[in-house]
Structure 1
Amino acid sequence: MKVSRQEKGIVSHYKREPYLIVHTEQSQRKDVYGAIGSNVVLQAQHLRGETQADTAIIGMHPIGAPGYLPMFSQLGRSGFDVVACATRFSTGDASLQMESVLADLGACVRDTRERLGYEKVVLAGWSGGGAVMAGYVAESTQRVITTTASGERTPLVDAELLPVDGLLLMATHRSRHHLLTGQLDASITDEQRPDVGRRPEFDLYDPDNAAQPPYSDGFLSEYREAQLERNRRITFWVKEQLAALVAEERFAEERSFVVHGTMADPRWLDVTVDPNDRKPNMTYMGEPGVVNNSPAGLGRFTSLRSWLSQWSYDDAQVDIVDAGPRIHIPTLLITAGADDACPVEHTAQIEAAIASSDFSSYTVAHADHYFAGPDGRAHLAEALGEIGSWMSDRGFRTREASA
């Protein structure tokens, strides 16, 4: 599909070509519906012009189709070649294992270099994609992950992780397990019956709760401890279930379950907690009190191994801060000044962790997580200008510069 559009400062012609990347792995258990034999099929889009640049920007997120995120389309319009690749878990994360996501990204990097013929590759992670990209860079530099988070064999061990040349982190949090833990509803004590035995002092959405914004430091400390306790309580139950299956030699079997109450971070109601320019009582998914138990809530539907790999505070292995000391390539961090998804404290932790001597960061003031709203185009253009300069200064050329 050819896209033609003329805007100030934008190269207006590019093609959006859908294609598949197929790699193989052996597994007794299927984690996604429709997998045929040992094939793992990834849906990808190639955003390019009539001529090919020397550099490809690869975008990937644990779930969904990154090709239609605003930034990747805008990069395509602006003369950059983009490979937007979905993981095998494109339709949902109930069975997702982050180790397999890194293996999928390895297949995409190899295809981009060897089949598409790009000389240079820059990984670009938006939101949850940031940990994927940083984790890949770290593992391609020095392998640390040897099993899944549940201690089983992972295809990542056999995956070829070719090196890349640059890393873009855009409106990102440090990891899924840290993000979820900070949003767990600390008032829930019974995972099977979330409305029974609640701790009323931690129910943020109870108008009769004595604790109201602005929250005291003491309340916040106790609330964070209760959130961590809840995460570990779920993890303990998950490991019990897995151990029971193993004891009965049912090694490939899984169990699925629901996690209630996953959008109850005090910062949603009190913008003085982890402050930025976001609106109070609003998140990137809508009103937090509604999202807290909506079907689309973060981590709502999951499985035993997936919980450990994605959401367990103590067991998940893919995290930008953990990966940071192994990241030595040029890295740019773009922060949204009114991000209503990713915590500001995560940004500071990421900045402190990246070991690269060529690390820089930039904040787009007043931009929300998706760079949407009435000023969204201006925010995108500002971010794109910074990315373009960063790319050019490091020899990552656009189509026009490569021609």
Structure 2
Amino acid sequence: MTELLGIPMQASDRIDVYSGVSRMAGKIWAALHSAEATPSKSAALLVHPTSNFMGHYLLAPLAERGIDAVGLATRYIGNDSSLTMENCVLDVGAAIRFLRERGYEKVVLIGNSGGGGLAALYQSQAESPTITCTPAGDPPDLTRADLPPADALLQLMAHPGRAQVLTDWIDPAVVDEADPWTRDEELDIFSGRIRPPFPPEFIERYRAAQFARNRRITAWVREQLDRLAAADGELQDLPFVVHGTTADPRFVDTAIDPSDREPGTMWGPTEVANMMPASLAHYSSLRSWLSQWSVDESNCDGALHMSRISVPALVMYGTADQVCFPSYATQMFDAVSHDDKRLVPVTDGLHYLSGQPEKIAFVADTVVDWLREHDLAR
């Protein structure tokens, strides 16, 4: 059985969602797939900052195995240009509180893909809140929020956070933010001058240049926010474009962070995905950049927050995943400071297990068996 859930949402003090209908509804939405054989007292909640998980591939398989499963859509569904990670934390908290009020005794939080950093951030702040504002100094204050902790945390084909991923992926050959065609040929992995396998000294220089570019954008964002503050008007934010956001050398050279993956990206050839409008992080507001994309200022550092959780943790990764590489999984697994943790590869698993029903079944079986071992499947 499938049910649409309307979950009360804590409103923001600024307009960061374009749709007036969405803002006035005062709700976020989720899809509940219920186990039909025996009523479940446990619920699995799948989260992502912006993707629509109401149709997630794992919902029905978990319900078929006796675990009610909920796919959440945050207030930023399909549009992360003004996304604030701290508001996503509020949305996850609202969903867990809603499920507990419905009578679920156990709630298991599953972060998939970009939901990995969010899930870690949420559980960390639910157990021991420390964040009093966004990096721009705005609400919410998570130390004053009602954030019920989950009973366990799962990371599924996940990465540690959007700021780290963008920094790993951002194109350091872009030297003029207003002109994507002005490029540093010494760092251009698409020019044909530099070919894989890339030597270690090139990778080191490339990575340093990626960090430098992220920090240049952050410095520019701070300057623009200072100008807005000095103007003393009602306008508090501005949009901007980021060119070249899918240029991780791992997309081109599969010997780096080796796995079973094919060269390229989930969005097609790397050079195309790097510039196409529909791929990662091309549009942002100033305040959103600090919250989700700034490598130095974002609060969403998945490894840091995984180190702060006390609940059981299961980390699963696909060995053929073109998006979340094996090192992302081991980074989050190694960060967990207690021993009740497990790392499970999904052999030949793609990022969303598209066209791989046997892999979906393996993931669902693994998750349910692990929950039963921990008395979390009721």
- For normalisation by structure 1, the TM-score amounts to 0.90
Q: Quote the Cα distance in structure 2 between the aligned partners of 1:74 and 1:65.
A: 18
Structure 2 partner of 1:383: 363
- Could you tell me how far 1:76 is from its partner in structure 2? 2.4
Checking the alignment, whether the CA contact within 8 Å between 1:328 and 1:357 is kept in structure 2 is no
Structure 2 partner of 1:90: 77
Structure 1 partner of 2:327: 345
1:313-328 superposed matches below 5 A? 313-328=295-310
Structure 1 partner of 2:374: 394
Q: Quote the Cα distance in structure 2 between the aligned partners of 1:177 and 1:285.
A: 20
1:357 and 2:342 matched: no
Structure 2 partner of 1:8: none
**Deviations 1:3-29, CA, capped at 9 Å, x for gaps:** xxxxxxxxxxxx111121123335144
Structure 1 partner of 2:99: 112
Structure 2 partner of 1:7: none
Q: Quote the Cα distance in structure 1 between the aligned partners of 2:22 and 2:56.
A: 29
Partner of 1:212, secondary structure, is: coil
Q: Quote the Cα distance in structure 2 between the aligned partners of 1:286 and 1:321.
A: 29
Structure 2 partner of 1:102: 89
1:203 and 2:183 matched: no
Match of 2:66 among 79, 86, 89: 79
Structure 2 partner of 1:149: 135
1:45-64 superposed matches below 5 A? 45-50=31-36, 51-64=38-51
- Could you tell me how far 1:324 is from its partner in structure 2? 1.8
- Could you tell me how far 1:158 is from its partner in structure 2? 3.7
Structure 1 partner of 2:240: 257
1:277-316 superposed matches below 5 A? 277-280=260-263, 282-316=264-298
Q: Quote the Cα distance in structure 2 between the aligned partners of 1:169 and 1:36.
A: 29
- In structure 1, what residue type is equivalent to 2:106? K
- Runs of at least 5 residues in structure 1 that lack an aligned partner in the other structure: 1-14
**Deviations 1:286-336, CA, capped at 9 Å, x for gaps:** 211111111111001111011111110000001220102211101101111
Higher mean alpha-carbon deviation, 46-55 vs 170-179, is at 46-55
- In structure 2, what residue type is equivalent to 1:347? A
Checking the alignment, whether the CA contact within 8 Å between 1:97 and 1:309 is kept in structure 2 is yes
Relative to structure 1, the CA distance from residue 269 to residue 16 in structure 2 (aligned partners, 3 Å threshold; closer, same or farther) is: same
**For this pair of structures, how many residues does the alignment match?**
377
Q: Quote the Cα distance in structure 2 between the aligned partners of 1:26 and 1:131.
A: 21
- Could you tell me how far 1:229 is from its partner in structure 2? 0.6
Structure 2 partner of 1:335: 317
Structure 2 partner of 1:140: 126
Q: Quote the Cα distance in structure 2 between the aligned partners of 1:290 and 1:231.
A: 21
**Deviations 1:119-175, CA, capped at 9 Å, x for gaps:** 111001111111111111100111111110212222544420012211111000111
How large is the Cα RMSD of the aligned pairs? 1.6
Match of 1:222 among 199, 205, 214: 205
- For normalisation by structure 2, the TM-score amounts to 0.96
- Could you tell me how far 1:250 is from its partner in structure 2? 2.9
- In structure 1, what residue type is equivalent to 2:86? E
Match of 1:129 among 115, 118, 122: 115
- Runs of at least 5 residues in structure 2 that lack an aligned partner in the other structure: none
- In structure 1, what residue type is equivalent to 2:30? A
Relative to structure 1, the CA distance from residue 56 to residue 35 in structure 2 (aligned partners, 3 Å threshold; closer, same or farther) is: same
Q: Quote the Cα distance in structure 1 between the aligned partners of 2:7 and 2:113.
A: 23
Structure 2 partner of 1:213: 196
